[in-house]
Amino acid sequence: MHVSLIPLLMGALFTNAFAAEARQGEGLLTRNVAVGKNSYTYQVFVPAKLRGQKNLPVILFLHGIGQRGAGGLLPTEGPAASIARGYLEGVPAIILLPRCDKQYFWNDGEMERMTLAALDETVREFGADTKRLYLAGVSMGGYGAWHFASQRPGKFAAVVSVCGGSPVRAGERFATVARGVGRTPVWVFHGAEDRVVQVSESRRMVEALRAVEGNRVRYSEYAKVGHNVWLKALGEPALLPWLFEQRLD
């Protein structure tokens, strides 16, 4: 599940640094959350045009395995600042960026508690709309997205999984997740030539989801595209409008 770039939502900043000095309440903000005796750093991006507004949507983004580590996910200085900030400024939502520790995966209990605590703190700090919490993940983060969506039904208004797979390792690997996801709207992306996470992971997940009564799943598979399918997802003009149309009842 290795991915060498920070995909989706990060625009052109992937291998570069993020430059922008966040003013109070906007830009790239750094926060810490406690899980037991441990403290973890996460980041929040607030577009300048949304500063001070309440009832905003939140996108929780789960990165791939190559970005595991400590500290903030995004650097705070570098030459790609204007491009990166320009992209993120154009997303009409608060973007939550937790970072998975190197010894864990997203579906491990410690990271699950950290991520959900960071989400709760973000909602509380910015007065966000709990009916418009969105979940997106790429590669290892795609596995994580399925985990969180299935373990917390009714928490997220929509889910985007890019080149992910089932976090369940035994038994009904896909049906178990699909039953947990239930009717949550989902958009799945995968490259047909992916050699890192087999395309069958998404195909079987979509099949299982379509067997759930009332589920609304969209699936985009791209011929002759490998693990860098995040480029296709990023370039999908209907993705963000679709995402923000979704809302919990």
Give pLDDT, residue 76: 65
Give pLDDT, residue 212: 95
Give pLDDT, residue 234: 87
Neighbouring CB atoms inside 10 A of 79's CB total 10
Q: How many domains does the chain have?
A: 1
Sheet holding 94-97, edge to edge: 27-35, 38-46, 94-97, 58-62, 133-138, 158-162, 186-191, 217-222
Q: What is the pTM of this model?
A: 0.89
Q: Is residue 4 part of a domain?
A: no
Q: Is residue 6 part of a domain?
A: no
Cα–Cα dist 82/12, whole Å: 10
Q: Is residue 1 part of a domain?
A: no
Angstrom CA distances, 197 to 2, 15, 31, 161, 227, stand at 9, 21, 32, 12, 7
| CATH number of the domain enclosing 94 | 3.40.50.1820
Q: Are 22 and 28 in contact (CB under 8 A)?
A: yes
Q: Is residue 240 part of a domain?
A: yes
Q: Is residue 103 part of a domain?
A: yes
Give pLDDT, residue 81: 47
Cα 57 to chain center, whole Å?
Answer: 13
Q: Is residue 3 part of a domain?
A: no
Cα 219 to chain center, whole Å?
Answer: 17
Give pLDDT, residue 27: 86
Residue 169 DSSP label:
-
Q: What is the pLDDT of residues 173-206, one digit of tens each?
A: 999 999 999 999 999 999 999 999 999 999 999 9
Neighbouring CB atoms inside 10 A of 235's CB total 8
Interacting residues of 148 by C-beta distance below 8 A, sequence separation 6+: 60, 62, 106, 112, 115, 116, 135, 155, 156
Q: Is residue 130 part of a domain?
A: yes
Q: Burial of 6 by CB count in 10 Å (0-12 exposed, 13-18 middle, 19+ buried)?
A: buried
| Of 156, 138, 132, residue with least CA distance to 61 | 138
Q: Are 50 and 92 in contact (CB under 8 A)?
A: yes
The boundaries of the domain holding residue 63 are: 11-245
pLDDT along the chain (249 residues), means of 10: 40 36 69 96 94 95 95 68 68 96 97 98 97 98 98 97 96 96 97 98 98 94 96 94 96
Q: What is the pLDDT of residues 71-91, one digit of tens each?
A: 888 766 655 445 656 677 889
Q: Is residue 5 part of a domain?
A: no
Give pLDDT, residue 78: 58
Q: Are 145 and 164 in contact (CB under 8 A)?
A: yes
